[in-house]
């Protein structure tokens, strides 16, 4: 199974993705970590972003080929960054579950003011990506994150993932 956790920076997607991966015993791939692995920290040109997503796709193919569950953690703000993973799931004959994590801007602003592991994004980055975020057109679960509901949205996500697993 392939689980895409997407959303703007600061919405809580990485925190949720880590919790989902732990709950399912899945591998967790994060673009923030891959960017550092590739030596592309603080490099956000379109070309550099596409290198990161291409490497995520390469790693995902290997992981799915071993039969492991996989949680992808990225903004996936452009359709062109999502499509390769739709195709990969189809080629690997695995279920694809899409989760979009959202949060109120006041919550995001507070989160972005704190130091966050792996992420280099600030509130200005959030606003820039928000302007160009392509709509999610395929079936997905929208999860609204705030301080006190992580267990609630984790359970919603796990229930939705279970539905996706049942369809496989």
The CATH number of residue 62's host domain is 3.40.50.300
The distance of Cα 79 from the centroid of its chain, to the nearest Å, equals 13
- 101-118 burial, b at 16+ Cβ within 10 Å, e below that, comes to bbbeeebbeebbeeebee
Q: Per the structure, how many domains does the chain have?
A: 1
Q: The domain containing residue 19 runs over which residues?
A: 2-167
* CA pair distance 150, 101, nearest whole angstrom: 11
**What would the two tokens of residue 85 be?**
């993973």
The distance of Cα 98 from the centroid of its chain, to the nearest Å, equals 9
Digit-by-digit pLDDT tens for the chain (168 residues) are 999 999 999 899 999 999 999 999 999 999 999 999 999 988 778 899 999 999 999 999 999 999 999 999 999 999 999 999 999 999 999 999 999 999 999 888 888 777 666 666 778 888 899 999 999 988 999 999 987 788 899 999 999 999 876 554
């Amino acid at each position: 199974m392939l689980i895409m956790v997407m959303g703007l920076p600061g919405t809580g997607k990485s925190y949720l993705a880590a919790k989902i991966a732990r709950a399912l015993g899945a591998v967790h791939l994060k673009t923030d970590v891959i960017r550092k692995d590739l030596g592309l920290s603080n490099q956000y040109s379109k070309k550099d972003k596409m290198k990161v997503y291409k490497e995520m796709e390469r790693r995902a193919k290997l992981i799915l080929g071993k039969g492991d569950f996989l949680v992808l953690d990225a903004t996936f703000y452009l359709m062109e960054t999502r499509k390769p993973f739709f195709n990969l799931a189809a080629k690997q004959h695995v279920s694809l579950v899409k989760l979009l994590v959202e949060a109120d801007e006041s919550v995001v602003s507070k989160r972005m003011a704190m130091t966050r592991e792996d992420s280099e994004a600030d509130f200005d980055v959030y606003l820039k990506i928000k302007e160009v975020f392509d709509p999610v057109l395929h079936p997905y679960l929208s999860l609204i994150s705030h301080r006190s509901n992580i267990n609630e949205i984790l359970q919603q996500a796990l229930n939705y993932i279970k539905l996706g697993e049942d369809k496989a």
